[in-house]
A and B are shown apart, each in its own frame.
Chain A
Amino acid sequence: MTGRSNRTMKRLPLIHPLVVKPWGVFRKLKILCAFLAASLFFQPSAQAGCFHADVRPGPGCTRQGLVSDYFPPLKGTAMDTAVFFLEGDAPGPTALVLGGTHANEPAGIMAAKILVEHGAVIQGRLIVVVHANPSAASVPDTRCPVPYRHELPGTIGPRYLTYGDRWSDPLDHGLDLQGTGQDKQLRNLNRVWPGDPSGTPTQQLAHALFVLIRAEQPVFLVDYHESRTEGRGDDRDKYRLANSLITPPTGIETGACALLDMEEDTGISLKLEESGPAFKGMSHWEVGSRTGCIPFLTESPNPGQDDWRHNPDVIQDPDFPLKHRVGIHLRMLVHLAAGVQGPQGKHLILQNIPEYRQLMDRGVGGFLN
């Protein structure tokens, strides 16, 4: 259930103080009328609203909170999102997983969901944010015509995958009803790290996640992403992100070891890419350069992002099925956990994370409650 029709639950969005000036009563009415008109006539925006994620935590999930616990101004807004904790009996290092930083990259969202619904921790602690940008998940993709809702067979009935947008809903930024008057990058969660407590709602969301990292002190972060499957012709050099692991110099050797283990485990080869100061605003640079947490960003190949495809099948594509892409993210986490040492040389030890072959046999839904 996504609950996208329940607009009444949505509080007034946070307004960027630099963009919106204090209003008079008349101006407020005008804006309200424009807002209502846009809600009626612009279909994608009309679907916007508080995003109610369908996550059904399994026994490995020991508690749940909200990102607004770390930055209260987000409470009750469309930017607030659930934070799930999987805590082991034995003490050990903490890791953080972010799914849905870009809501049109569903393999990361489904991988994070499987962690919460099926996974467990023996030693240490895993913190999972399934929908890192719930506002972006509340609206359809504006880049490629991929349907918003996809049914997956679950273990006790159908489950639904929502295919959202790369950017936060403009309505949640409180202005710019057609999404043209504001720099899109300020609505892109992976361009605004480490966030800004007085910035746009998306910047505030990044700030909240950054406060979470400072408070919970994960030793490593995995930010799940997807990208075009491949570049074509002259674009070949341009789109080279698919099947890669990106990390700053502090994570390069650990990342290389994890990639070799990944090859042995799954037969899948990913490229290693090094982050650096040129990646300003992105998690894999900003988190690593400002905290003790080593960030990793995984990129799986999503046919839904290939602009040369007609009617891409983001679930059953014969070359890049969802289950394969989810397997990349889940297995990378396992191998990174085995490689990153926490205090006292301990590792995060995970349990019940599907093997790649199991995912290929049973599908993503086979590991959802």
Chain B
Amino acid sequence: MATPAGNVSWFPPARGITGLIIGLGLLLLAAGSSGAADVTLTPFGQSPDAMMVKVVLKKNGVTARLEKMLTAGDLKNEDVLVVVVGGSSKGMGAAGINKEDEIKRARELIAEARNRGIKVLVMHVGGNGRRGKLSDQFISEAVPMADRVIVVESGDQDGLISGLAKDNNIPMDTAPNVRQCDEPLRKVFDDWQIK
């Protein structure tokens, strides 16, 4: 329908109580979206584990942006950057990068995030199956640059991740499996006062 200004309205005629309800609904929606945590996820090592974390966040009401090849220049005004560590040679092959490229990207990205005051959460959720030479290199790079670390327990049976966290005075939380990462995630977000 045509509005007084001559533009086309997206909405059918809304009068009286119906209009009031719609207006209030829109206001509430806008208020809700503006208050949501702004979270961006990226894998470090190009494994799909970042998608697992995205789904955990989604199940807990947090909508996160997942960018496989997020660079320092892509950062916006996020509250949190979640770096999910886990090496996948096939994933890196698909992205057309090698190990050195991936390390460079992560170093620059995390450094820029810290410069901007964006909280950096490093997660390893792939368990023992996502450990090995390749993943261990990424873990050794990422953990010392984190503000917080969350690890699925079976991924730290040898104490590599907890040792790195301890040496660098970085608080670390654990979870028995990926699904139960929701609790440490909630704790970290609460500690950072991010809703």
Contact = CB atoms under 8 A, between A and B. Distances in A.
Contacts of B47: 271-273
A317 interface: no
Contacts of B187: none
Contact of A259 (B93, B134, B178, B180): B178
Contact of B91 (A253, A257, A260, A274): A274
Contacts of A253: 51, 54-55
A237 B59 contact: no
Interface string A272-286: 111011110000000
Nearest to A235: B132
B179 A263 contact: yes
B119 interface: no
Given A237-B134, A240-B132, A273 B88 contact: yes
Contacts of B178: 259-260, 263, 269
Interface in B123-151: 126-127, 129-134
A226 to B, nearest CB: 15
Contacts of B179: 260, 263-264
A277 B129 CA distance: 23
A277 B133 CA distance: 24
B125 to A, nearest CB: 9
Contact of A236 (B51, B91, B133): B133
Contact of B52 (A236, A240, A267, A272): A272
Interface of B is mostly: helix
A267 B51 CA distance: 19
Interface residues of B, number: 29
Given A263-B177, A278-B94, A256 B51 contact: yes
A68 interface: no
B110 interface: no
Given A260-B55, A263-B179, A278 B130 contact: no
Nearest to A279: B90
B62 to A, nearest CB: 15
Contacts of B51: 252-253, 256, 272
A273 B88 CA distance: 8
B177 A252 contact: no
B184 interface: no
B158 to A, nearest CB: 12
Nearest to A270: B129
B49 to A, nearest CB: 7
Contact of B127 (A236, A237, A267, A269): A269
Nearest to B59: A260
B63 interface: no
A145 to B, nearest CB: 27
A237 B132 contact: yes
A278 B52 contact: no
A244 B129 contact: yes
A101 interface: no
B188 interface: no
B133 A256 contact: no
Contacts of B54: 253, 256
A259 B55 CA distance: 10
B55 A274 contact: no
A223 to B, nearest CB: 17
Contact of B94 (A269, A271, A276): A276
9 contacts: A236-B131, A236-B132, A244-B129, A259-B52, A263-B177, A267-B177, A271-B130, A274-B94, A278-B93
Given A269-B177, A274-B94, A278-B90, 18 more contacts: A236-B132, A237-B89, A243-B129, A244-B129, A252-B51, A253-B54, A256-B48, A256-B51, A256-B54, A259-B52, A260-B55, A260-B56, A260-B179, A263-B180, A269-B154, A271-B47, A271-B129, A273-B88
